[in-house]
């Protein structure tokens, strides 16, 4: 009976620590932040929603292809990768999938003012390698976005989304992916390899951080990427497939192990009662 009472006391104390003290300590170390916003409500939407594809194609050709490739349309980058890095500090992204993976309002605001949209005004102070196109009308920007959406693929694999959204800066050595050079100098900090990031951060943290890095790490050089919720889910799914490919197997084994331990605990208790019953 004494042992049973001791067990009850241990269970109660453990419960208080687990459900009371631990959440409080976690809240002090990691203050609660607003959930991820996939509408990017802090950015002003365009005053027009309908875009003209033909005019958008002309505008993109005249204003974007001097730096960006659009490989889906047969337009290669005008620079070799090393020349682009030397000129801009970073390799300008290919725009083939921009209309699919980036949220429409965010993409519009990136064209209008990339530093504001990506929350990097503190880093570039008006000197972002990509110039602001805020001299354009909302209709012209809407035309460009409509064109980019029209040429975007209907779907991409998780890895393809990751490469387009994150792969210019981040290595994933476990999957033999290496980002193009120059990023450390461009951002002013060493960029982490993401092979095992899925194990060091929980899903809520990753979603909030990818959606808005400044919300989690104020002053960071990492830009807000502006992914749609679906594209962000694909990025995290890819990271999980690389860094935690045995997750389902591990989680299923955990339940089995708990059941096994409970079963063995009952057997041990009954065996002890049988062996020592004459001593009590």
Radius of gyration of the chain (CA): 26
Residue 175 lies in a domain: yes
pLDDT(38) > 70: yes
Say whether both 253 and 237 belong to one domain: no
């809240």: which residue's tokens? 27
**Burial of residue 132, with CB atoms counted within 10 A of its CB: 0-12 exposed, 13-18 middle, 19 or more buried:** middle
State whether 212 and 90 are in the same domain.
yes
Task: Read off the pTM.
Answer: 0.80
Q: 26 lies in a domain? A: no
Quote the pLDDT of residue 16.
Answer: 82
Q: How many CA atoms within 13 Å lie on the side-chain side of 174?
A: 15
Higher-pLDDT residue of 120 and 97 is 97
| Residue 71 sits in the same domain as residue 99 | yes
Going by the DSSP 8-state scheme, the letter that residue 166 receives in this structure is T
Cα–Cα distance between 240 and 201 in angstroms, integer?
A: 11
| Residue 24 covered by a domain | no
pLDDT at residue 265 tops 70 = yes
Q: Looking at the structure, do residues 190 and 278 belong to the same domain, yes or no?
A: no
CA dihedral 114, 118, 123, 125 (to 10 degrees): 30
Are 237 and 254 found together in one domain?
Answer: no
Mean pLDDT of 71-82: 89
pLDDT at residue 244 is higher than 80: yes
Question: Is pLDDT at 1 greater than 70 in this prediction?
Answer: no
Tens of pLDDT, residue by residue over 2-11, are 777 887 888 8
User: Looking at the domain assignment, is residue 227 inside a domain?
Assistant: yes
Q: What is the pLDDT of residues 211-233, one digit of tens each?
A: 999 999 999 989 999 999 999 99
Instruction: Write down the pLDDT at residue 154.
Output: 96
Q: What is the pLDDT of residues 164-196, one digit of tens each?
A: 999 989 999 999 998 876 677 777 778 899 999
Is the pLDDT reported for residue 155 higher than 90? yes
- Structural domain including 258 reads 246-280
Given this model, what pLDDT does residue 205 score?
92
Q: Is residue 191 part of a domain?
A: yes
Do residues 68 and 95 touch, judged by C-beta distance below 8 A? yes
Same domain, 103 and 217: yes
Question: Do 265 and 219 belong together in one domain?
Answer: no
H-helix or E-strand spanning residue 212: none
Same domain, 275 and 224: no
The answer to whether residue 87 is domain-embedded is yes
**For all residues of the chain together, what is the average pLDDT?**
88
Are 204 and 259 in a shared domain? no
pLDDT > 60? residue 118: yes
Would you say residue 9 lies in a domain? no
93 contacts: CB under 8 Å, gap ≥ 6: 68, 164, 168
């Amino acid at each position: 009976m004494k042992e049973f009472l001791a067990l009850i006391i241990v269970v109660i104390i453990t419960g208080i620590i687990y459900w009371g003290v631990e959440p409080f300590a976690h809240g002090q170390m990691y203050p609660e932040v607003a959930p991820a916003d996939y509408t990017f409500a802090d950015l002003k939407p365009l005053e027009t929603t309908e875009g003209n594809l033909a005019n958008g194609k002309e505008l993109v050709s005249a204003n974007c292809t001097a730096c960006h490739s659009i490989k889906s349309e047969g337009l290669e980058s005008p620079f070799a990768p090393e020349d682009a890095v030397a000129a801009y500090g970073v390799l300008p992204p290919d725009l083939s999938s921009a209309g699919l993976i980036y949220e429409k309002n965010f993409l519009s605001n990136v064209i209008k003012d990339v530093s504001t949209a990506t929350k990097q005004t503190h880093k570039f102070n008006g000197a972002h390698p990509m110039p602001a196109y805020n001299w354009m009308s909302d209709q012209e920007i809407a035309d460009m976005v409509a064109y980019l959406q029209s040429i975007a693929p209907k779907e991409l694999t998780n890895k393809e989304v990751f490469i387009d959204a994150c792969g210019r800066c981040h290595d994933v050595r476990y999957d033999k992916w290496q980002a193009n050079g120059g990023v450390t100098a461009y951002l002013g900090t060493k960029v982490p390899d993401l092979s095992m990031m899925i194990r060091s951060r929980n899903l809520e943290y990753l979603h909030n951080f990818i959606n808005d890095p400044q919300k989690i790490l104020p002053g960071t050089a990492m830009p807000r990427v502006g992914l749609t919720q679906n594209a962000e889910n694909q990025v995290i799914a890819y990271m999980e497939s690389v860094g935690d490919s045995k997750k389902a197997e591990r989680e299923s084994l955990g339940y089995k192990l708990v059941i096994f331990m409970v079963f063995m605990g009952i057997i041990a208790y009954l065996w002890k009662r049988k062996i020592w019953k004459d001593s009590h």
